[in-house]
A and B are shown apart, each in its own frame.
Chain A
Amino acid sequence: MSRKVLVVDDSASIRQMLEFTLKRASFDVDSAPEPTSALTMADRATYDLVITDVNMPGMDGYAFVEQMRKKSSYRFTPILMLTTESSQDQKVKGKQAGATGWLVKPFNPEQLVATIEKVLNR
């Protein structure tokens, strides 16, 4: 059974790129342009991995991760945050919110897949 990934990013290009890349790597991918709908989607399906942007209108990535961790089915699910540069501050905040780790933009598709494969125990 292919593994399901949920992508949350307000940027359509990044979202499409992630979706395309992950689908090619035979993941099942759903995406949401903002956290609120992602939270609803997370209830409707079970995702094996969640990737979220940090800066989004409305709810930011940290708050989103916090909300996700409150859901019993996502307590241990890997959640990766997309950050720009290796800002220590962002990482610490991400961790405090309950994120598993981070992916630093700009990234290239191959590296992304490699990282995700690792996280998902292939």
Chain B
Amino acid sequence: MSIDLSQFHQVFFEESLEGLDVMESALLNLDTENCDSETINEIFRAAHSIKGGSGTFGFSTVAEFTHVIETLLDQIRAGDRRIEPAHVELFLKSVDCIRQMIKSLEAGDAVEMSDANDLKSKFQAILDGKELAAAAPVPASTAPTAPASVSDTDAGSSGGAKTWHIYFKPDGDVLKTGNEPSRMFRELEDMGVATVVVDTADLPGIGVIDPETCYLKWNITLVADVEKAQIEEVFEWVIDEAELRIEEVAQVAVTENPEQNGAKPSSVKQSKVEPSDIVQTTVQSPVAEVSVSPAPSQAISAPAAKEPAAQAAPAAKKAEKNKTEVSSIRVGIDKVDSLINMVGELVITQSMLGELSRDFDISKLPKLLEGLEQLSQNTRELQESVMRIRMLPISFTFSRFPRLVHDLSKTMGKKIELKLLGEQTELDKTVMEKIGDPMVHLVRNSLDHGIEMPEDRIKAGKSDTGLITLNAYHQGGNIVIQIIDDGKGLDKEKILRKAVEKGLVGESDKLSDEQICDLIFKPGFSTADQVTDISGRGVGMDVVRRNIQELNGSVEVESFTGKGSTFTIRLPLTLAILDGQLVSAGEHTYILPLISIIESIQTNMDMVHRVAGGCDVLRLRSEYVPIIRLYDIFNIKPESYNLEESLLVVVEGDNMKVALVVDDLLAQQQVVIKSLEENYKRVEGVSGATILGDGTVALILDISGLIKLAGVRKDEYKKVKQGGDEAA
């Protein structure tokens, strides 16, 4: 039976990466002055699991490296050594290093060992420093060292059969640990010829006997081609709770003179055929010390051999690996339980409806309606439960920030405390994956531009330590993520000056504070005096906003000079379902994302102005909003071409407002998004499609795409706006 261990690799990689995250955050929380033993334990456990797993699955490089870390952690855990800040830094670097190793292994690439070796020697130096290094060279022996063990076996078998006398007297309690002496005797029988004689001398009278206590002792004669250590191995689990004497009776091989050892004559025949048996049994009988037992098994040598192979042909390996890579999520059992529960209810409702339909007459209508109501409730709950499966707490994303802040504040010489709130707020996995990068950018931005240097903070009458808070909460079907800093706030004058310089706003434009702050999200806008390593990576806030908008979300900033800024990201909880507003245009039904709708109005022609370029704008209080006629864009025939008979839905997308002309507003409902790209092809102005209750397909409109299609781009919009001003 050979088992392909590679099928467990993916799980191992995932749990190791999770373990590393745990290690990292525990390390960052560690107060070296006042060390909490549970935190150390947590770090130790994570390292320990990675080591155990990597050893088992044949990743000896990881196992060896982790072992050194574990040794030091174990000493700290045992109180033999104090943890110092330098250790923490070293451990953090090791976390990075192991993470890199795991990722390389996962991708099938060669494992880069230079960092690991470097760190290993540093750890070794620490360990050696207190002469506690004895445990350190162990990795070599814990790693599967089949060849060495095999030679042991060879040495043993070349000596021929020996006769051993074994005296075994276990403690009375031996049975209470589940150890059966008969098992050990059977193992001895597997090695050769064993004669077991029981000594019942200590057995008390039947009246006082305790059936759970072992009163027996044994004298065993074993004729086998084994070394003393192999016999000891059989008794390994009980060696400390027993009186055990193993003596070699004679060096002479049994085959030559069997009687001499008191072995029964019949054993002669058996011992002749033994050499092959012995080879077999030694292979199979690792007893307990599995790691050092002589088992040239395929399973463990195969993965071990894979690593050098991977180094030789990383590309080929990678190609092979990519095929098998599956991303998975772990789901709490309570979520699965509730799902099963839901399905159960659904089945009940279904059978009830089935029953009704069998001989249906009009008198049963109320019952039918009740059943259908039940069905729709079940469906809704089922949908929610299924969605919940994909939901993960945002702590998965938040968890990378403590390290980021720790490292960056060090490089910048700033003192920063990071506070995480609402870590348990749940979010769809796909959204989570995509929000990470924009968040990193915003946090870097706050660190770099928001929080001041300690001396400047003190001058400003603040504590020298800046505070960055990440906050997440649910609000009306959306998740809100805030990045709050208590730094200097946005320099509004500078922003305005820059915007004028870049022609983003006219010099005479009067903008509210809010509008000024919003300018930082415009393409091509950057006020950094100096492009720093931290946030000036050529990715502007406009990209951040665009990425968030692609997720059907929004981002805005609020800032108070001297007090700090708050970036607020709003995202739908899932990408699979959209809160939609159904609208009709002609015979067609379209869906607008509810989040993008600002208001819907019936207009009269006084509010509509035509400006240069043939574009109509709607005067909406103090603003002018371009009007986009859906029927023009999709080339359909509306119910009415008269704006006064139509409805205008004011929506926002791509940083601008537009008014869409539709015939009517229909229902608001959650729709399941089906990708148009996957099923048909990409269509400008449409972000997807869905199937409505009556089976028809409705297109989900993409506001920014529509704006592009309609040709009311920002530059034109500006013209429109200026024109509008004149018109007003």
Contacts and interface: CB of A to CB of B under 8 A. Distances in A.
A11 B3 CA distance: 19
A106 B287 contact: no
Interface in B288-319: 288-293, 295, 297, 299-300
A21 interface: yes
B3 A104 contact: no
Contact of A106 (B11, B55, B187): B55
Contacts of B180: 121
Interface string B1-14: 11101011101101
Given A84-B142, A114-B284, A102 B237 contact: yes
Nearest to A78: B178
Nearest to A92: B240
Interface stretch (B44-52, B455-463, B579-587): B44-52
A118 B187 contact: yes
A37 to B, nearest CB: 9
B34 to A, nearest CB: 22
A109 B288 contact: no
Main secondary structure of the interface of A (DSSP, over half): mixed
A104 B49 contact: no
Contact of A110 (B55, B183, B295): B295
B3 A20 contact: yes
B470 interface: no
A58 to B, nearest CB: 11
A75 B173 CA distance: 11
A115 B182 contact: no
Contacts of A76: 175-176, 178, 212
Interface in A13-33: 13-14, 16-17, 20-21, 24-25
A13 B57 contact: yes
Given A55-B45, A76-B175, A79-B178, A104 B291 contact: yes
Given A55-B49, A108-B299, A110-B295, A24 B288 contact: no
Contacts of A21: 3
B63 interface: yes
Given A14-B56, A110-B299, A111-B293, A118 B183 contact: yes
Nearest to A11: B49
Nearest to A19: B8
A114 B44 CA distance: 31
Given A11-B49, A115-B287, A55 B176 contact: no
B186 A118 contact: yes
B241 interface: yes
B652 interface: no
A108 B290 contact: yes
Given A95-B240, A106-B63, A110-B295, A25 B1 contact: yes
Interface string A81-122: 010111000001001001111111111111111110011010
Interface in A46-92: 55-57, 69, 75-79, 82, 84-86, 92
Interface string B116-155: 0000000000000000000000100011100000000000
A11 B52 CA distance: 9
Contact of B144 (A77, A106, A113): A106
A115 B5 CA distance: 19
13 contacts: A11-B52, A17-B5, A77-B178, A82-B52, A84-B55, A85-B142, A92-B240, A107-B56, A108-B56, A108-B300, A111-B295, A115-B286, A121-B183
Closest 5 A/B residue pairs (Cβ): A106-B55, A101-B237, A13-B12, A100-B178, A107-B290
Given A13-B12, A101-B237, 17 more contacts: A13-B56, A14-B52, A16-B8, A20-B3, A55-B44, A84-B51, A84-B55, A105-B52, A106-B63, A108-B56, A108-B297, A109-B5, A110-B297, A112-B290, A118-B186, A118-B187, A121-B186
